[in-house]
Amino acid sequence: MAVKNYILVCGGTACESSKGDDIFNNLLKEAEAQGVADDVQIVKTGCFGFCEKGPIVKVLPEQAFYVEVKPEDAGEIISETVIKGRMVDRILYKPEKGAKGDAFDIDNIEFYQKQYRIVLRNCGLINPEDIDEYIARDGYAALEKCLFDITPDQIIEELKVSGLRGRGGAGFPTWMKWNFTKQVESDQKYIVCNADEGDPGAYMDRSTLEGDPHSILEAMTIAGICVGANMGAIYIRAEYPLAIERLETAMAQAREYGLLGKDILGSGFDFDIELRLGAGAFVCGEETALLASIEGKRGMPIPKPPFPAVKGLFAEPTVINNVETYANIPAILTKGGEWFAKIGTEKSKGTKVFALTGKIKNSGLVEVPMGTTLREIVFEIGGGIPNGKKFKAVQTGGPSGGVITDKYLDTPIDFDNLISIGSMMGSGGMIVMDEDDCIVDVNRFYMDFCVEESCGKCAPCRIGTKKLMGYLDRFTQGKGEVEDIQKMKDIGEAMKKAALCGLGQTAPNPILSSLEHFGHEYMEHIEEGKCAAGKCKDLVHYKIIAEKCIGCTVCARKCPVNCIEGERKKPHVIDQEKCIKCGACFEGCKFDAIIVS
């Protein structure tokens, strides 16, 4: 009997952590219990990207897009949608007011309308643990083409025509990196995948591996054919258990199908891949530190040249690309470099995946053509700032990037444009801030991260990050001085020139860009001892306005340290010496009797 319905259940980490596995199992049980197990195929997929609305369940062919699903909803999904063909309205996605089309049509969901999926082409559509589903969507067709129909030189040429640049942050032309390794004479070469995604708030590579692991295996094998390598390694942090599990499953399946290992597809070409687990060191995102870690050494960068393409893993020629870069390769070689080159801008071709997080209505994974503006991402795809708050800035590139203000919202996003406005692409983190965020506090967070993640090998980074952290601490405590501003600029510029690797060279970027755009906030902390956003606790004071206080005692009952005194129905007073600045009283007062100064 033919299957009448397909149910796609998001199996990404975010939805899994919200009982996605229970939803999947309950759907299987309900289909059996309601007698339609043979009529419906229930598939656990990778991430749909629309994380704000997860867990997500999609039912085909009705195109029912269910959001914020709970395990107990499974029975109704089977009884109503599968059996009766009706929508379960209470969990059905509702378009924003004014949007056109039916609520259940995914094409009318604003979050997806301006996206163009190449890297995430299979995420949310296939079972990542079933190689047959990957093959059904042209999976391994590019590998077959590279084994039997085109030469390594033609692979290089196709990548050159495509204009693909590395998505790990630097944007180096992929064809050029591969060609360097291809031209080196050596009996042993390696292909390495950098899956050590460490930026705060970034999860693009993890989700790609969870939702489409075979695309990475296929791309790495193609790289091996191109440059003459027979061994590959995926360096992935150990705290990505779901991605590791699905990679291991995919590798076992590929070997079983003759797509990985000895004599691939009877071609005589051998190529295999191993997983290497990292301990979560941010510095190991730098390629030489990553290679050292794979070799069993402490993850610390070394000066370049020689570059890894010539002398890399175990001193042999090595191609290193990140997950997103590899994910583009099969599509490019299947559809052609010219097809890819038509997407994006003149110098930045194709698409870019961003992890859109922070003060945004629709957080999640976003894949857009290069050249899409920040305004389109934040206000159209992301839905704008929640709770009626004002947009303040976007932080791109994580601890390595800068802040972008509303002045640049209409700037087309690509490698060169972001650098020109004081930020960078990075691996693809995009954190949105609103009026309630303090720039000084945000930069303190990033610098604290850099201090902790610095390997300490070079003085500019080891000492520079600590010095910058010290200044930021003083600002948040109201102890900063005007002269400290110039000192931070001097240290930052020195680090950019003298630090050994990208971590130290880019660590000052958030501070330097924020000083340019939000210098007044630093001066407010210094000269007025004030944090307008109320984030720097040492500069915040909560005060009760006697004329507005009715003595309801709510604030006193909510205070965790009992620092609010007063009789019932009479104005209360906050003991500033005991106050820990938690804000519980401010949030609990219904009469606007408490102000922040």
Both 200 and 336 in one domain: the answer is yes
**Structure-token pair, residue 349:** 């071709």
Residue 147 scores a pLDDT above 90: yes
Give yes or no for a contact between 81 and 87, defined as CB atoms under 8 angstroms apart: yes
Neighbours of 391 (CB within 10 A): 20
Question: Is 252 domain-assigned?
Answer: yes
CB-based contacts of 239, cutoff 8 Å, min separation 6? 280
* Tens digit of each residue's pLDDT (9 = 90 or more) over 389-409: 999 999 888 788 888 899 999
CB-based contacts of 6, cutoff 8 Å, min separation 6? 40, 41, 42, 43, 59, 60, 61
Q: What is the per-residue pLDDT for 535?
A: 85
Give yes or no for a contact between 11 and 130, defined as CB atoms under 8 angstroms apart: no
Which CATH number is 545's domain given? 3.30.70.20
Distance CA 309, CA 296 (A): 20
Which CATH number is 251's domain given? 3.40.50.11540
Give the chain's radius of gyration (CA, Å). 27
Number of independent structural domains in the chain: 5
Both 241 and 141 in one domain: the answer is yes
Q: What is the per-residue pLDDT for 331?
A: 97
Q: What b-and-e string marks burial along 572-588, b requiring 16 or more CB atoms within 10 Å of the CB? A: bebeeeebebeebbbee
Which CATH number is 103's domain given? 3.40.30.10
Question: Measuring CA to CA, which residue among 304, 331, 297, 288 is closest to residue 192?
Answer: 288
* Tens digit of each residue's pLDDT (9 = 90 or more) over 10-33: 999 989 889 999 999 999 999 999
Question: Measuring CA to CA, which residue among 72, 7, 73, 82 is closest to residue 45?
Answer: 7
Residue 230 scores a pLDDT above 70: yes
* Tens digit of each residue's pLDDT (9 = 90 or more) over 436-488: 899 999 999 999 999 999 999 999 999 999 999 999 999 999 898 999 999 99
* Tens digit of each residue's pLDDT (9 = 90 or more) over 285-313: 889 999 999 999 999 999 888 999 999 99
Question: Is 125 domain-assigned?
Answer: no
Higher-pLDDT residue of 214 and 303 is 214
Both 368 and 397 in one domain: the answer is yes
Range of lowest pLDDT (94-108, 324-338, 410-424, 442-456):
94-108
Range of the domain at 508: 439-528
Question: Measuring CA to CA, which residue among 49, 347, 413 is closest to residue 208?
Answer: 49
Both 457 and 496 in one domain: the answer is yes
Which CATH number is 514's domain given? 1.20.1440.230
Parallel, antiparallel, or unpaired: how do β-strands 64-66 and 190-195 relate? unpaired
DSSP letters along 361-400, please? SS-EEEEEETT-BHHIIIIIIS---GGGPPEEEEEESGGG
SS3 of 5, please? strand
Which CATH number is 405's domain given? 3.10.20.600
Among 370, 400, 434, give the residue marking a domain's end: 434
Q: What is the per-residue pLDDT for 540?
A: 84
Among 503, 528, 553, give the residue marking a domain's end: 528
> What integer is the mean pLDDT of 204-221?
96
Distance CA 572, CA 566 (A): 4
Both 216 and 141 in one domain: the answer is yes
Question: Measuring CA to CA, which residue among 344, 252, 224, 234 is closest to residue 293?
Answer: 234
For residue 295, give Cα distances in angstroms to 281, 383, 421, 518.
15, 45, 38, 44
Parallel, antiparallel, or unpaired: how do β-strands 429-434 and 351-358 relate? parallel
Q: Which amino acid is at 520?
A: H
Both 181 and 262 in one domain: the answer is yes
Helix (DSSP H) and strand (DSSP E) numbers for the chain:
23, 17
> What integer is the mean pLDDT of 339-366?
94
Give yes or no for a contact between 423 and 409, defined as CB atoms under 8 angstroms apart: no
Residue 284 scores a pLDDT above 70: yes
Distance CA 146, CA 264 (A): 12
Q: What is the mean pLDDT of the chain?
A: 91
Q: How many Å is the maximal CA-CA distance in the chain?
A: 88
Question: Is 23 domain-assigned?
Answer: yes
Both 93 and 166 in one domain: the answer is no
Distance CA 235, CA 182 (A): 22
**Structure-token pair, residue 544:** 């009760």
Question: Is 121 domain-assigned?
Answer: no
Question: Is 214 domain-assigned?
Answer: yes
Question: Is 509 domain-assigned?
Answer: yes
SS3 of 449, please? helix
CB-based contacts of 449, cutoff 8 Å, min separation 6? 200, 282, 399
* Tens digit of each residue's pLDDT (9 = 90 or more) over 90-105: 999 987 665 554 555 6
Both 522 and 449 in one domain: the answer is yes
Among 468, 499, 528, give the residue marking a domain's end: 528
Both 66 and 145 in one domain: the answer is no
* φ, ψ for residue 162, nearest 5 deg: -65, -30
Both 473 and 385 in one domain: the answer is no
> What integer is the mean pLDDT of 142-155?
96
Distance CA 210, CA 365 (A): 13
Distance CA 397, CA 167 (A): 11
Hey, what's the torsion of the CAs at 454, 455, 458, 464, to 10 degrees?
20
Both 264 and 201 in one domain: the answer is yes
Residue 576 scores a pLDDT above 90: no
Both 193 and 328 in one domain: the answer is yes
Residue 363 scores a pLDDT above 90: yes
Question: Measuring CA to CA, which residue among 304, 281, 293, 280 is closest to residue 501?
Answer: 304
Q: Where are the alpha helices (DSSP H) in 212-240?
A: 213-227
* Tens digit of each residue's pLDDT (9 = 90 or more) over 19-76: 999 999 999 999 999 999 999 999 999 999 999 998 999 999 888 999 999 999 999 9
Question: Is 402 domain-assigned?
Answer: yes
Question: Is 535 domain-assigned?
Answer: no
Give yes or no for a contact between 87 and 109, defined as CB atoms under 8 angstroms apart: no
SS3 of 240, please? coil
